[in-house]
C-alpha cells in the first residue's frame, strides 16, 4: 500500500520525463529531464545557482546528453542507492549514474561569485576524478 501511494505521487510529478527522447542530465546533481523540462522548470536541485529556467542556452551549457544509467529516486531518506550515488539529499526524480562533461568557465565564475566552489567531473564516475564530495558544488 505504501509503495502504491509513493508511486502515485511520483508518477504525477512534473519533474519526471514523459518520454525518453531528448533527455539530458544536470552536470552538477545528475538529475535527468527533457530539454523542455529543464527550460521550463530549471533543475529541482540546482536552480538557485545554475538559473536554467527560461534559458535554453544555459540548459545546453549546464546539462549533458552523454550520461550512463538511470536511478529512479523515490525515497531519498531511505534509499541505499541514493546514499551510494551521493544523491540522498536530492529531490525525488530520475538521476544518471554517471554524467560526462563539465560546466563552462563562465558558469563556474558565476558560481564562484556566489561563494560556492564547483568540482569538475564530480558526477562523472567513468573518470578517475571523483573527489568524494557529496555535492559537486560546495561552499568555499
Q: What domain count does the chain have?
A: 1
Q: Report the CATH number that the domain containing residue 122 is assigned in CATH.
A: 3.30.40.210
Q: Which residue has the higher pLDDT, 84 or 24?
A: 24
pLDDT at 138 over 60: no
Name the strand (E) or helix (H) holding 16.
none
The answer, as to whether pTM is greater than 0.75, is yes
Length reported for the chain: 140
| Whether residue 16 has pLDDT greater than 90 | no
Asked if residues 139 and 117 have their Cβ atoms less than 8 Å apart, the reply is yes
Model confidence over 113-130: pLDDT tens digits?
999 888 776 667 665 444
Asked if 90 and 31 touch (Cβ cutoff 8 Å), the reply is: yes
Q: Is the pLDDT higher at 140 or at 44?
A: 44
Q: How far apart are CA 27 and CA 46, in angstroms?
A: 10
Whether the CB-CB separation of 96 and 123 falls below 8 Å is answered with: yes
Whole-number Å distance between alpha carbons of 83 and 133 = 12
Q: Give the other-Cβ count within 10 Å of 41's Cβ.
A: 15
Q: Is the pLDDT of residue 53 over 90?
A: yes
- Which residues is 72 bridged to in the sheet? 94
Contact indicator for 30, 88 with CB cutoff of 8 Å: no
Do 47 and 29 meet the contact criterion of CB atoms below 8 Å apart?
no
* CA-to-CA separations, 56 to 36, 39, 52, in angstroms, rounded: 8, 6, 7
Q: What is the pLDDT of residues 61-113, one digit of tens each?
A: 999 999 999 989 888 888 888 888 878 888 999 999 999 999 999 999 999 99
Q: Which three cell numbers stand for residue 34?
A: 527533457
Domain span including residue 91: 2-139
Amino acid at each position: 500500500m505504501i509503495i502504491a501511494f509513493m508511486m502515485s505521487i511520483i508518477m504525477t510529478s512534473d519533474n519526471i520525463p514523459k518520454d525518453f527522447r531528448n533527455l539530458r542530465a544536470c552536470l552538477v546533481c545528475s538529475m535527468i529531464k527533457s530539454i523542455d523540462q529543464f527550460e521550463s522548470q530549471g533543475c529541482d536541485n540546482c536552480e538557485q545557482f545554475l538559473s536554467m529556467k527560461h534559458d535554453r542556452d544555459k540548459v545546453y551549457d549546464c546539462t549533458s546528453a552523454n550520461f550512463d544509467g538511470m536511478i529512479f529516486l523515490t525515497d531519498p531518506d531511505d534509499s541505499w542507492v541514493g546514499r551510494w550515488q551521493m544523491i540522498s539529499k536530492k529531490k525525488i526524480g530520475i538521476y544518471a549514474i554517471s554524467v560526462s562533461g563539465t560546466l563552462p568557465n563562465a558558469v563556474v565564475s558565476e558560481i564562484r561569485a556566489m561563494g560556492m566552489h564547483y568540482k569538475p567531473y564530480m558526477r562523472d564516475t567513468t573518470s578517475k576524478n571523483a573527489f568524494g564530495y557529496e555535492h559537486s558544488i560546495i561552499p568555499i
